[in-house]
Amino acid sequence: MNDVATLTKKDFESNQDVRWCPGCGDYAVLAQIQKLMPTLGIARENFAFISGIGCSSRFPYYMETYGMHSIHGRAPAIASGLKLARPELSVWVVTGDGDALAIGGNHFIHAMRRNIDLKIILLNNRIYGLTKGQYSPTSELGKKTKTTPHGSIDRPFSPVALALGAGATFVARTVDSDLAHMAGVLRRAAEHKGTAFVEIFQNCIVFNDGAYDAITDKSLRDDARLLLEHGKPLIYGKGRDKGVRLRGLEPEAVALGEGGVSEADLVVHDEAAEHGGLAFFLSQFDAPALPVPLGVFRAVSAPTYEEMNLQLHADAEARKGRGTLAGLFNSGDTWTIE
């Protein structure tokens, strides 16, 4: 048994050998989550990590917490049942682009809309790794893989847009190679009350290496990515000399100072906006015309499903009293045979 105050990263490392490919982006995510856990003030035994199938879904085996490596795509459904049965637990789902968005798409969107207090971390490498390199629902159009030798004709999902469209109350995106940014986003997700969704751009070194180079390469990334900050204008670029403004309902990348454009012309990020339009607007940004946003798209407060469920039970008990079997059995029309 560990005292919550003295927990360290090490206490969250299981004795199982980590079996991801050397250089896989998953290592960085695992390390950040192991680092985050002891800082949350939650006893180790009160964490549960639930996953589906895929490379990222091996995650629970490496966490010295309660955990389940379940079946393909179903982790959000299993985690939902666990959280409803045990609202006091901190329940995390680790999933991938195939697991969450292809086979598990239905559970994913329903988890988002219900707002059960789950932390859902999607490691998006835009490829199927465990089955050795087929395109995924987030692979870009034209991508050549073993199942798309002539280039993919499947239009990709934006996981962030999908989560927003499904009504998620917390939606964020980060990237495996920016540890500080990832740490900040994961902490925000942990602290959110309700379903928190984090998409992590994760490099698959074997089957899709370099998928995120444009936004991870230190010499390029500042011009290609936009770090979202609540209440701040959308500014990016190496010299923080670029921004995004609105033309009608269309976003437009602009150079600050050119043609009289100033910070005052730029869109200001508001992650808590009541209307989800701004977050969705941001979710549509893509290279090369616009920078790729990283950070918290949306964080709004709403009652959680399990709180409302507990309330229904409390109300029923207040109304009818705690049920008894004798009362239940004898309810309705009864008759007695002498």
* Joined tokens for residue 20: 């991801």
CB-wise, 191 or 315, nearer to other proteins?
A: 315
Instruction: Identify whether the C-beta of residue 204 lies closer than 8 Å to the C-beta of residue 127.
Output: yes
CB-wise, 44 or 245, nearer to other proteins?
A: 44
CB-wise, 77 or 234, nearer to other proteins?
A: 77
CB-wise, 68 or 205, nearer to other proteins?
A: 68
Instruction: Identify whether the C-beta of residue 200 lies closer than 8 Å to the C-beta of residue 181.
Output: no
CB-wise, 62 or 207, nearer to other proteins?
A: 62
Is residue 326 near other proteins by the rule CB under 8 A? yes
Is residue 190 near other proteins by the rule CB under 8 A? no
Q: What is the DSSP string of 158-170?
A: -HHHHHHHTT-SE
Q: Figure out which of the listed residues 60, 159, 243, 295 binds other proteins, where binding follows CB under 8 A.
A: 60
Is residue 79 near other proteins by the rule CB under 8 A? yes
**Phi, psi of 79, rounded to the nearest 5 degrees:** -65, -35
* Joined tokens for residue 150: 């002539």
| Residues 206-245 within binding reach of other proteins (CB under 8 A) | none
User: Could you tell me which residues come within 8 angstroms of residue 293 by beta carbon, excluding any fewer than 6 positions away?
Assistant: 173, 225, 226, 227, 228, 282, 283, 285
| Residues 135-164 within binding reach of other proteins (CB under 8 A) | none
Rg (CA), the chain: 23
Smallest separation, CB 7 to other proteins (Å): 12
Q: Figure out which of the listed residues 45, 191, 213, 286 binds other proteins, where binding follows CB under 8 A.
A: 45
Nearest in space to 34 (alpha carbons), one of 54, 14, 55: 14
Smallest separation, CB 132 to other proteins (Å): 18
Region near other proteins per CB under 8 A, out of 20-28, 244-252, 273-281, 309-317? 309-317
Question: What distance in Å separates the CA atoms of residue 65 and residue 53, rounded to the nearest whole number?
Answer: 19
State the SS3 of 216-261: HCCCCHHHHEEECCCCCECEECCCCCEEEEEECCEEEEEECCHHHC
Is residue 303 near other proteins by the rule CB under 8 A? no
CB-wise, 56 or 216, nearer to other proteins?
A: 56
Is residue 10 near other proteins by the rule CB under 8 A? no
| Residues 80-109 within binding reach of other proteins (CB under 8 A) | 80-86, 88-89, 106-107
Smallest separation, CB 95 to other proteins (Å): 13
Running DSSP on this structure, what letter comes out for residue 102? I
Q: Rounded to whole angstroms, what are the CA distances from 315 to 50, 76, 114, 205, 250? A: 31, 28, 20, 53, 48
CB-wise, 297 or 305, nearer to other proteins?
A: 305
Q: Which residues of this protein are in contact with other proteins, per CB under 8 A?
A: 1-2, 14, 16, 43-46, 48, 50, 53, 60-61, 63-71, 74, 77-86, 88-89, 106-107, 110, 309, 312-313, 315-317, 319-326, 328-330, 332-338
